Structure 1
């Protein structure tokens, strides 16, 4: 049942991203850091965007409107550029397979995130004390961070981490860091003996 639902989600997403399919293949390459310069390009692009927002010094509503305008413009122009640069005959079976893998990955990530959110909210029924402890501590931490750190800088850090995360996972950097953290207590306990 879940696989059928996931296949339907993939089909819907493929139809939705039809105009973006030629742009998604190189974008996947960049997000997974297939070249050494890709993380630098991601950080540079995000930094340039946030530098522009910081220089304009707009209020929150105007910033949201500007980001919405930019996203709408990109959503409008990318399919037009892709259709003018690439001919329909250049779309091969291999590219279609890669496009389907991208859509499956997006759907799987979406479903995993949705499941984790549902699991968190199910704690309200199963373990209300733990649910409220986690919720209140997270909200207090977020309120403290938002009051002490510039909100644009927080969004910059968040955007950079979100865009670098697929490459971090693909390269196994996060797992390497976790294994180093797990080794650290063992090394200090050996020295004390």
Structure 2
């Protein structure tokens, strides 16, 4: 049953991303760091975008509007350019399989995110004390960070981490750091 639901979700995502399919293949390559220069390209692109936003010195509402305009423009122009550059004859079975793999990955990660959110909110019924401790702590930390650090800079860091995260996972960098932390010598404090 769950398999059928996931297949329906994959078909729905494929329909929604049909115009983007030619752009998604190289984008996947960049996000997974298949070339050594890909992390630098991601970092540079995000940096240029946020540097431009910083130079415009817009208020929050204008910034949201500019980002929305940019996203709408990209959503309009990318399918046109990709269909012009790559005709329908260049779409092969291997590319279709890769496109379906991308859509399946999107569905899997989306469902995992929803599951994590549902399990967090289910803690409210199962373990209310833990739910409120985690919620209040995280909200206090976010409030402190938002009041201490420039919001555009926070969004820049968040965007950079989100875009670099698939490559970090693919390359095993995060697991390597965790294993180094676990291998670190343990300090034992002796009490007199």
- The TM-score, its normalising length taken from structure 2, stands at 0.97
**Larger helix proportion of the pair:** 1
4+ runs deviating over 3 angstroms: none
- TM-superposed CA distance for 1:2, in Å, is 1.1
Q: Does 1:50 align with 2:50?
A: yes
State the secondary structure of the residue aligned to 2:61: helix
- TM-superposed CA distance for 1:46, in Å, is 0.2
Alignment of 1:3-22 (within 5 A): 3-22=3-22
1:23 counterpart residue number: 23
Structure 1: gaps (5+ residues):
none
Q: Distance in 1 between matches of 2:6 and 2:139?
A: 33
Q: Distance in 2 between matches of 1:185 and 1:133?
A: 31
- TM-superposed CA distance for 1:95, in Å, is 0.2
1:156 counterpart residue number: 156
- TM-superposed CA distance for 1:43, in Å, is 0.3
2:184 counterpart residue number: 184
2:78 counterpart residue number: 78
- TM-superposed CA distance for 1:185, in Å, is 2.9
Q: Distance in 2 between matches of 1:118 and 1:3?
A: 20
Q: Distance in 2 between matches of 1:185 and 1:128?
A: 36
1:114 counterpart residue number: 114
- The TM-score, its normalising length taken from structure 1, stands at 0.96
2:39 counterpart residue number: 39
Aligned Cα root-mean-square deviation (Å): 0.9
Q: Paired residues, what number?
A: 188
Q: Distance in 2 between matches of 1:127 and 1:55?
A: 47
Q: Distance in 2 between matches of 1:6 and 1:170?
A: 23
Q: Distance in 2 between matches of 1:67 and 1:93?
A: 35
1:94 counterpart residue number: 94
Structure 2: gaps (5+ residues):
none
Q: Distance in 2 between matches of 1:72 and 1:184?
A: 48
